[in-house]
Chain A
């Protein structure tokens, strides 16, 4: 399936995973392949013919990064503002759709410096909402569990205070995430055990070893929050047309 996970850092020690789905309805429409298999479906009066699989479509790293940066304001607004007590999301009935401004901007806390592009909001279930984003990208942002989101918000706001232990239940992913960071480069350093693997490197690297600086890595632990935001990509911005 075409799901991939984009990880964004909310600050230097907290990360939030976003699950990104690519909706192929609009993205790909030109692949036609021959039929592989046919069988009657007995419980149905149909003759089913199955088509060969299409290759999954993913966003590339660059695309993913540009998308995440494009929706930076929106994401931060979702995490920090939308779950706040001043936004009355629960007034929406299940299945009801409203323009986003009517929900958000009417509050006294409307801040014009937030540059968001969310057009409408739909309530899907008890704790589920769908936001429709349209700017360069066209996205559907699903908030799968606003309960968790509001916990995450509290955690982000009060993490440094003494109280933080009380709120962070259920918002950490079981999956642990470490970030690879490059340490400073110093050739004269006494070799530590970290350098040993250099010996295991393939032979062709050996001659260049004296030129190659010794690099130490450190692995930094991050607080990984649970995924509760899904993003369905409906449309990707066009690349700049080649200048003639």
Chain B
């Protein structure tokens, strides 16, 4: 071995074994590391003559001491032979290539140039400046195949962390560019080679596409490749793909990467082996780089970027291009003012928020940040910031504080709703919250704190006033609707006169708004259209409410029946609970006060009024005379419109029987008349007639605007990045500029939100510019990358131990045992950050498909890592037990590693709660529920421990701590052997198939199959299991006994049916086998 290490014993048998193991794994291009490297490797190989020493520091001494990737005996040659040759070296070799780009704006061009000519840049740009176009063009350039001598070499560019949307856009962009390129080649009339060689093929490798594409293209990948990081990391570590084969890496959405992400792990491996390739990062969110302490620098170190390129919207190149004075005349700002009620509600909500925040700060003085005040209420990061502080301390803060956090979330939601949802929806939202907070016996003090603030009454009463005021239905319309209609009609008139080619595009923020607007527009031509619309909406609300109260009653009824049987004590209470819906609870005087407040003023309890009012009548009245559009009647309530009928869900569940019906019906023949009819229906819709309503997030790639080519754009709500898109779009088709209408509510949260968003981005950029100016330059040598330091530390520790042992064990043996640390890791474990961290601490991570355990750290110690949610899950479905069983069978120290997230609190308590808290929908979880689950977890864990007395449990607060624990455990112990680790699993599988499953666990299986019976919930299952224990006993139970146990006759019936079915099936199969025997006997007789 060249450059043999200080601590590596040359003739270490253990290491030998390992190497052998590796050589088995290193299939394909790498070959056996011991053998001399083959001279030619497939189509991209080169002769040795191309290999030229790079001018810089590379020499034999620079080969890393402890390469953590499978060792190459000839690193240098690999570098030359892999993907493209390192750097432009020999002068004669440089060849000019001209590349066609497809970019519409000059500044995008400059961005690409900037990005190309910088080493390992991290590019941070303002929102909506056309990232995907830039990316696809850049990838096109970077993927340029090259020619060395007479040999063609193709490059391999890997795209990391790309979303599905990104990949699709890049694919389409590259396809477009490849067309251009083919054109180029054709015109140039160069060599008559197969032109496909020149194409930069784009492939996507994900876990889904794995089976198909990986066999074919991944063994010899070329072109641009978008890979999920989990797959790539395994391939890199197991040597399927060598870093030297990769021309470069492009990381998208850098802001989404967390610390110790797989991507940073990949880049680290890449850089440690490949010094010549490029790394480029992109992000569109400058705000996320200014949140913590010098996050920019940290992120850059983490991902090995060297320079930052900042492209804010206010950069001269961009603004000169976009701020075109001639076209700006076509932008109209439509400022709509809020109605009185709306602004009152808005004021009330803001005041409530202020109080909640103040209260939160007062209650948690140690945790609260100064930043949490009313000025930052509109900041999107407020909630995230509160979460990030509160969640790790969730078990320490009081119940009130938790409620406050929840309320702040809810209030912010209401603030958004007040401008976007209509009056009925808003009212429903408020009403729901009120109902959820009605005092009941089980939770006396869970009144949401915001309802205690005086201003909340303002909100509630005005929300009611918008619906019903002075014995009359107000049904306030959103002021924007009217304006929108005016604009649309304006446009329609304009289109009459002029020849206008493009459609009208209305952009808004959410799917709900999209539906709302389509409804508004389709009702617009009718007399009193809006009123009618609101009435229908109210009618729907009423129906839903009745439906809900009906189900609630049903549930209550069922519940009380159950309670009567199980807990006779509670029946007295439950009676009260039912009646307490309206009655005030005694003792809770402040609740009564709130109730009084709530009913004071204009806000009568209008629920009653809604109930009594005959909406149908008014609807009929207004509809008289007006001819109905039959179309509206046909599909107004189809699933994609605002009403989702409850029956639809049922139907989609029972899809299967329908499928059969379709299969039959599809066979109906086709006649020419039918065909003619279809042809007559078919028509092309001119673009000018279209009005498209779409939400921002679907328009936020620059392609969509170009695809639609709208002549009119109505921006219904302000959205920073969409406005940028429109700017780009206008700039790119300046010959035929579109008209833009920009609607917003004046003096509203909406306006303020928009302004702060702009300011925030600008601030973020100016901060970044400042940080970038002061950033310390960072140089590194090979030693920094080779984890040398870590290993040295380890050596010191080891020698300490050895000194202790020196007396009993002879001299050098301890050193001989010490090679490099090896941990065998299951390939499925690479989603976690632990393998990456291990690698960083100088451990060689060997990915294998393990059937037993997740991490094998010594031949005797096997770890099963469980995050908390994993733990709960596998406790529930008993997987943990089987995993432990396996571990115990093969390893001396089976170990369960329970790993918490660094940002969670290191205690089991807040689990159920913490998780449901994140989930907005389940806002009212009972505090008891989490405690139960905690007890459950504890008891289950205890059972596991009792069942497997040898099982060790390690509690670790974060992945970092896990690494330290693992390293401690490994000190002075032997290294694991991957071959045996893999074998263990497979043997077990075979054995298991042979005998165990059929005999011992057949009954278990039957029991668990109960879960699949529709109507048997998990709770029922657990109850049954608790009381009956085994299937054999369950078989013997009668109907009556079952009813007693389950407390529900229907359920008992289901269970009984299932049991009988199972028994009869078993008998049948027995009989069949018996019959078979008989028959075969007969056969023999016949013969």
Interface residues of A (CB under 8 A from B): 1-13, 15, 19, 21, 23-25, 28-29, 35-56, 58, 61, 64-65, 68-69, 72-73, 75-76, 80-81, 84-86, 94, 109, 111, 113-114, 125-126, 154, 157-158, 163, 165-169, 172, 174-181, 183, 192-194, 196-198, 200-201, 215-221, 223
Contacts and interface: CB of A to CB of B under 8 A. Distances in A.
Given A125-B212, A221-B518, 14 more contacts: A11-B682, A24-B180, A25-B182, A41-B116, A48-B141, A109-B669, A154-B666, A166-B658, A168-B639, A174-B695, A180-B492, A201-B490, A219-B525, A220-B629
Given A68-B684, A219-B488, A183 B95 contact: no
Contact of A177 (B212, B489, B527, B690): B690
A22 to B, nearest CB: 9
Given A45-B84, A179-B690, A15 B685 contact: yes
Given A5-B708, A197-B490, A221 B522 contact: yes
A41 B635 contact: no
Given A3-B172, A174-B695, A217 B525 contact: yes
A68 B685 CA distance: 10
Given A1-B703, A47-B94, A194-B524, A29 B183 contact: yes
B679 A72 contact: yes
A218 to B, nearest CB: 4
B858 interface: no
7 contacts: A35-B98, A41-B88, A43-B277, A47-B95, A61-B687, A194-B525, A197-B493
A65 B684 contact: yes
Given A165-B651, A177-B691, A179-B689, A37 B113 contact: yes
Contact of A84 (B183, B639, B666): B666
A125 B666 CA distance: 25
B276 interface: yes
Interface stretch (B99-107, B387-395, B958-966): B99-107
A176 B685 contact: no
Interface residues of B, number: 119
B707 interface: yes
A13 B87 CA distance: 60
Nearest to A73: B679
B553 interface: no
A223 to B, nearest CB: 7
Contacts of B774: none
B525 A183 contact: yes
A87 to B, nearest CB: 11
A23 B177 CA distance: 10
A203 B922 CA distance: 56
Contacts of A1: 102, 133, 172-173, 176, 703, 706
B665 A178 contact: no
B91 to A, nearest CB: 10
A157 B511 contact: no
Contact of B658 (A163, A200, A219): A163
A195 B670 CA distance: 48
Contact of A178 (B86, B113, B496, B693): B693
Given A111-B675, A168-B639, A50 B84 contact: no
Given A177-B690, A180-B689, A46 B101 contact: no
Nearest to B521: A219
B655 A8 contact: no
Interface centre among B89, B101, B490, B634 (most CB of A within 10 A): B101
B97 A49 contact: yes
B208 to A, nearest CB: 10
A114 B678 CA distance: 11
A200 B681 CA distance: 38
Given A13-B635, A43-B155, A201-B490, A3 B525 contact: no
A39 B94 CA distance: 12
B247 A43 contact: yes
A52 B495 CA distance: 35
Contacts, number: 305
B486 A197 contact: yes
A122 B669 CA distance: 26
A196 B486 contact: yes
B489 A8 contact: no
Contact of B87 (A28, A42, A58): A42
Nearest to A163: B658
B651 A8 contact: no
B586 interface: no
Interface string B651-679: 11011001001110111011010010011
Given A47-B94, A194-B525, A217-B489, A54 B180 contact: yes
B55 interface: no
A200 B489 CA distance: 10
Contacts of B495: 180
Contacts of B631: 13, 220-221
B662 A21 contact: no
A65 B686 contact: yes
Contacts of B694: 174-176
A215 B496 contact: yes
Nearest to A23: B179
A125 to B, nearest CB: 8
A157 B677 CA distance: 13
B241 interface: no
10 smallest CB-CB distances across A and B, nearest first, come from A218-B525, A11-B681, A178-B691, A176-B693, A68-B684, A219-B521, A113-B672, A176-B518, A166-B658, A197-B489
Contact of B117 (A2, A39, A43, A197): A39
B673 to A, nearest CB: 10
B53 to A, nearest CB: 15
B524 A40 contact: no
Contacts of B658: 163, 166-167
A221 B635 contact: yes
Contacts of A54: 100, 102, 180
A166 B142 CA distance: 48
Given A157-B666, A167-B662, A56 B706 contact: yes
B276 A21 contact: no
A37 to B, nearest CB: 5
Contacts of B492: 180, 215, 217
Given A13-B635, A194-B524, A85 B683 contact: no
A54 B682 CA distance: 35
A48 B515 CA distance: 49
A139 B596 CA distance: 72
Nearest to A154: B662
Nearest to A113: B672
A169 B101 CA distance: 40
Contacts of A29: 183, 186-187
A165 B96 contact: no
A180 B489 CA distance: 10
Contacts of A169: 639, 652
B681 A8 contact: no
Contact of A163 (B96, B504, B661, B706): B661
Contacts of B780: none
Nearest to B246: A43
B661 A200 contact: no
Contact of B176 (A2, A48, A65): A2
Contacts of A53: 101-104, 109
B735 to A, nearest CB: 10
A64 to B, nearest CB: 7
A5 B707 contact: yes
Nearest to B677: A11
Residue in B488, B667, B675, B708 with the greatest tally of chain A CB atoms within 10 Å: B675
A166 B639 CA distance: 10
B525 A44 contact: no
Nearest to A172: B640
Nearest to A14: B681
Nearest to A175: B694
Contacts of B1032: none
B309 interface: no
A78 B88 CA distance: 52
B485 interface: yes
A94 to B, nearest CB: 8
